[in-house]
């Protein structure tokens, strides 16, 4: 079980981690103390479950979970100092509710329930629509994988060219950070240290001098195929 802890109190994160790691099949893949880090950690680690505090730096944990859960499937265990939040958390259907201050037995109870729920989900896995999480000034944004034409590395961030948009979006993510999310999206392909492209939008692959250039439908942007990526790129088009 891969678990993420989201709480803005470091001592709570440490205590939860100490209890969780007593269970052989439970792994804490990360911690987050605010809304932005919560979203990034889910996109990066794909946890099976999140131990979630409600009052976080930068916003409300329940509202953030609602948005993130439209793209990623995970169970939620609410960890809060007020049991009055239980009703408000109904929309995200938490697996369990732990009231602070808590004991080891409370965490173990949640882990037992979580193990049972994950076993049930393996029999009938859920499907989630595909979107990628990007960081922007003041928050984050999800962009549909199907709409992305190309992601281009720039200084201190990236440009995301999107169909039906006249200009690319600028985000704060480095391209290497984005590539960690690409495993779920076979139509997105890294073709250069500075480019990720959607093969469904490719119009032509041209050789110009020593460069292999890709052009696209719906945009005048051009991408270069790096030599070390060239063979894997061509494999994408073979049956």
Strand 222-225 relative to strand 211-216: parallel, antiparallel, unpaired?
antiparallel
Q: Say if residue 69's pLDDT is above 90.
A: no
Total residue length of the chain: 239
State yes or no: pLDDT of 8 exceeds 90. Answer: yes
pLDDT, tens digit, for every residue of 165-199? 889 999 998 888 787 777 778 889 999 999 999 99
Q: β-pairing, 59-60 with 49-52?
A: unpaired
Higher pLDDT, 163 or 237: 163
2-123 fold: Rossmann fold (3.40.50)
Residue 125 has what pLDDT?
46
Q: What is the pLDDT of residue 38?
A: 94
Q: How far apart are CA 177 and CA 175, in angstroms?
A: 5
> 220, 114, 205: which is closest to 168 by C-alpha?
220
d(CA 159, CA 170): 5
Could you give the CA distance from residue 42 to residue 32 in angstroms, rounded to a whole number? 10
Q: What are the extents of the domains in the chain?
A: 2-123, 131-235
Residues in contact with 13: Cβ distance below 8 Å, sequence separation at least 6, in sequence order: 5, 7, 31, 33
pLDDT tens, position by position, 119-172: 887 765 454 557 888 888 877 888 888 899 999 999 989 999 999 888 999 999
Q: What is the predicted pLDDT for the residue at 83?
A: 61
Q: What pTM did the predictor assign?
A: 0.61
CATH number, domain 131-235, options 3.40.50.880, 3.40.630.30, 2.40.50.1020, 3.40.190.10: 2.40.50.1020
């Amino acid at each position: 079980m891969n678990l993420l802890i989201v709480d803005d109190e470091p001592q709570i994160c440490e205590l939860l981690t100490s209890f969780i790691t007593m269970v052989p099949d439970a792994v804490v893949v990360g911690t987050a103390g605010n809304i932005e880090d919560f979203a990034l950690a889910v996109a990066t680690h794909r946890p099976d479950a999140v131990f979630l505090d409600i009052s976080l730096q930068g916003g409300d944990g329940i509202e953030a979970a609602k948005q993130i859960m439209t793209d990623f499937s995970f169970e939620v265990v609410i960890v809060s100092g007020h049991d009055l939040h239980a009703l408000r958390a109904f929309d995200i259907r938490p697996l369990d509710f732990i009231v602070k201050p808590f004991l080891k037995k409370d965490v173990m109870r949640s882990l037992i329930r979580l193990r049972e729920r994950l076993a049930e989900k393996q029999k009938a896995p859920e499907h989630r629509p595909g979107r990628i999480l990007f960081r922007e000034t003041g928050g984050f944004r999800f962009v549909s994988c199907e709409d992305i034409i190309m992601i281009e590395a720039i200084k201190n961030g990236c440009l995301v060219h999107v169909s039906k948009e006249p200009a690319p979006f600028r985000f704060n993510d480095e391209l290497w950070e984005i590539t960690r999310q690409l495993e779920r999206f076979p139509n997105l392909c890294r073709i250069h240290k500075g480019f990720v492209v959607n093969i469904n939008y490719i119009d032509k692959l041209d050789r110009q001098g020593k460069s292999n250039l890709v052009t696209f439908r719906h945009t005048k942007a051009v991408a270069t195929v790096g030599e070390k990526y060239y063979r894997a790129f061509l494999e994408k088009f073979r049956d």
